[in-house]
Amino acid sequence: MPKKDKLAEYKKKRDLAKSGEPKGKVRSSKMPIFVVQKHAARSLHYDFRLSIGGVLVSWAVPKGPSTSTRVRRLAVRTDDHPMRYAKFEGVIPKGEYGAGTVMVWDKGTYRNIQKKAGKKVSMETALKKGKIEVWLKGEKLNGGYALIKTGRGNQWLLIKMKDEHARARGNPVNTQKKSVLTGRTMRQIAADAKKGK
Ligand code: MN
């Protein structure tokens, strides 16, 4: 039997020739990476993505990640995205799936920190079991974050773990509004797209 195409959903939903988004290709990266994209679609949300098994496993987080350990953010698992999506910034045209402005809000590497009875749990197993613990090294987000499946469909929770990077106040979503890729605001990305940049 042919191996299941992890990006089948991604490709099925989109007309990549029209949307300008990266083509669907599974490829592994040497260092595990993460990216958080701010996406002004029908409703504004943040797409939290972790590279696992050659694709970017993705969650849509309506309120974005928090630095407070007391906040649990709803994270809805969405279709896996190709690795190259981590560098995608621009505007998905009207009429296409997910139409709206996309910003690379944060990016970096991550480390799998989950252990069970002193042994490492692979990311694939963690994903299957619905309990992920990673240490992020980004430009805005740092430290431990947990993703926990709630048991209802695609619903997960994104929670900041207790460590020296936890902050009760000053949510980065509210204070940091520029792309880590280009330094642009959402408005500038949209304006540039109009000019064909
Ligand atoms: Mn999105």
Specify whether the CB–CB gap between 39 and 108 falls below 8 A.
Answer: no
- Is the residue at 96 inside a domain? yes
- Is the residue at 189 inside a domain? yes
**Structural domains counted in the chain:** 1
Q: Does the pLDDT of residue 106 top 90, yes or no? A: yes
In this prediction, residue 26 carries a pLDDT of 83
In this prediction, residue 1 carries a pLDDT of 47
Ligand 1 centroid–CA 102 distance in Å is: 8
- Which residue's entry shows tokens 């209802």? 152
Instruction: Provide the residue range defining the domain that includes 18.
Output: 8-194
Hey, what's the torsion of the CAs at 118, 122, 128, 129, to 10 degrees?
10
Ligand 1 centroid–CA 120 distance in Å is: 31
Q: Widest CA span of the chain, in angstroms?
A: 56
What proportion of the chain, given as a percentage, has pLDDT over 70?
A: 98
Ligand 1 centroid–CA 117 distance in Å is: 36
**3-state class (DSSP) for residue 44:** strand
Q: Render pLDDT for 46-93 as a digit per residue (tens, 0 to 9).
A: 999 999 999 999 999 999 999 999 999 999 999 999 999 999 999 999
21, two tokens: 């988004």
- Is the residue at 2 inside a domain? no
In this prediction, residue 27 carries a pLDDT of 82
- Is the residue at 3 inside a domain? no
- Is the residue at 156 inside a domain? yes
Ligand 1 centroid–CA 9 distance in Å is: 14
Neighbours of 171 (CB within 10 A): 16
